[in-house]
Amino acid sequence: MEKKQLDWENLGFGYISTDKRYVSNFKNGAWDAGTLTSDANIVLNECACVFQYAQTCFEGLKAYTTMDGHIVIFRPDLNGKRMEESARALEMPIFPVERFVDAVVKTVEANAAYVPPYGSGATLYIRPYMMGTNPVIGVKPANEYQFRIFTTPVGPYFKGGVRPLTLRITNFDRAAPHGTGHVKAGLNYAMSLHASVTAHAEGYDENMFLDPATRTKVEETGGANFVFVTKDNKVVTPKSESILPSITRRSLLYVAKEYLGMEVEEREVLVDELKDFAECGLCGTAAVISPVGKIVNHGEEICFPSGMNEMGTVTKKLYETLTGIQMGRITAPEGWIKVIR
């Protein structure tokens, strides 16, 4: 297989069309066999449920080239299970996890020439998603759906070195109690855009959303979960029904406990205790962990001792262990790595 001639080190995080995408349609109560296609465009009726009532959910994962030259994906079964949960929450049909993993494998195989080489820092981002496709004007779920997967090569996240982020605590809310915060759905992102644009305009990298009911507890940002490190070296992550269950966060907690021998806690995290943490990071598939240097709470600055120039010691260890597992430098726990070729 001849790799595409792309400037891997200088890729950003933008859409680049690749050769093949996977499509399966749901009609008359069943999914068809699914196929790979070259057509990147979708033609739908103007009244399709996804356009009118946002009936759509998505996933995100990556393919990596390992140190010994294999193409692998990381825990795709967890993405498949989470998409099953999202579909249930939005009254969409289940695309079964076994078929999900098989479709991801086929799509990555078909675009293997776009999987960036080991050491470039770049990866192949994989985007599975599903939407209601038939015309719906009275509010109800669609009865026809399309499941698709496309891939796009993305550049190294920490291009030009690590730069700890500055967050603001926002007055906007992300997800109501008993709402859709735990569902990986575009609807949660549509309403985060205003919060995100205004945060950027004020010079912040991201918003820290609080629990809307009491505004005393930390939830997450628009697209990443928090991990904190206490001064006595415990890894703490917020627990809430309205946080999206990040696969990276679950994997980091396992790594902290089983690989680094640290104590881990999933519990409510109060805004009042932010100033007591030694380190803070944002975790998700895109960056694995981005260090947070500072959080601004309505004018009051909370500066973490790890500072604004580098990753904290523990954050760095977590980052290096998990990326080491993904890149095949460190032995992975059973079932975490799916080898594609």
Segment near ligand PLP (CB under 6 A); pick from 14-22, 247-255, 268-276, 309-317: 247-255
Q: How far is the CB of 156 from ligand PLP (least distance, A)?
A: 17
Q: Which of residues 136 and 195 has its CB atom nearest to ligand PLP in the complex? A: 195
Of 63, 235, 247, 271, the residue at the interface with ligand PLP (CB under 6 A) is 247
Of 76, 93, 155, 223, the residue at the interface with ligand PLP (CB under 6 A) is 223
Of 60, 135, 141, 307, the residue at the interface with ligand PLP (CB under 6 A) is 60
Q: Which of residues 125 and 277 has its CB atom nearest to ligand PLP in the complex? A: 125
Q: How far is the CB of 227 from ligand PLP (least distance, A)?
A: 11
CA angle 76, 81, 85 (to 5 degrees): 145
Q: Looking at residue 254, what DSSP letter applies?
A: H
Residue 284 binding ligand PLP, by CB under 6 A: yes
How many Cα atoms within 13 Å fall on the side-chain side of residue 116? 25
Which residues, 6+ apart, have CB-to-CB distance to 167 below 8 Å? 204, 205, 206, 207, 208, 221, 292, 294, 295, 296
Of 56, 242, 248, 326, the residue at the interface with ligand PLP (CB under 6 A) is 248
Q: Which of these is catalytic: 20, 62, 184, 294?
A: 184
Residue 123 binding ligand PLP, by CB under 6 A: no
Q: How far is the CB of 150 from ligand PLP (least distance, A)?
A: 17
Residue 135 burial class via C-beta count within 10 angstroms: exposed 0-12, middle 13-18, buried 19 and up: middle
Residue 307 binding ligand PLP, by CB under 6 A: no
Q: How far is the CB of 269 from ligand PLP (least distance, A)?
A: 15
Residue 196 binding ligand PLP, by CB under 6 A: no
Which residues, 6+ apart, have CB-to-CB distance to 137 below 8 Å? 47, 52
Segment near ligand PLP (CB under 6 A); pick from 88-96, 120-128, 239-247, 316-324: 239-247
Report how far apart, in Å, the C-alpha atoms of 305 and of each of 77, 297, 310 are. 37, 17, 11
Which residues, 6+ apart, have CB-to-CB distance to 303 below 8 Å? 293, 294
Residue 246 binding ligand PLP, by CB under 6 A: yes
Residue 206 binding ligand PLP, by CB under 6 A: no
Residue 56 binding ligand PLP, by CB under 6 A: no
Instruction: For residues 92 and 83, give the distance between their C-alpha atoms in angstroms, rounded to a whole number.
Output: 10
> Strand 165-169 and strand 206-208: pairing?
parallel
- The answer to whether 107 touches 126, Cβ cutoff 8 Å, is yes
Residue 294 binding ligand PLP, by CB under 6 A: no
Of 87, 208, 224, 327, the residue at the interface with ligand PLP (CB under 6 A) is 224
Q: Which of residues 83 and 136 has its CB atom nearest to ligand PLP in the complex? A: 83
SS3 content of the chain, % helix, strand, coil (to 5): 25, 30, 45
Amino acid at 278: A
Segment near ligand PLP (CB under 6 A); pick from 47-55, 104-112, 144-152, 223-231: 223-231
Residue 220 binding ligand PLP, by CB under 6 A: yes
x/- track of binding to ligand PLP for residues 156-185 (CB under 6 A): ----------------------------x-
Report how far apart, in Å, the C-alpha atoms of 324 and of each of 65, 231, 252, 318, 321 are. 12, 25, 12, 10, 5
**Tokens 């799509």 found at:** 107
The question of whether 184 is a catalytic residue gets the answer yes
Coil, helix or strand at residue 84: helix
Segment near ligand PLP (CB under 6 A); pick from 9-17, 25-33, 246-254, 311-319: 246-254
Would you state the structure tokens that stand for residue 70, as one six-digit string? 């294999």
Catalytic residues: 184
Q: Which residues bind ligand PLP (CB under 6 A)?
A: 60, 184, 220, 223-225, 244, 246-249, 284-285
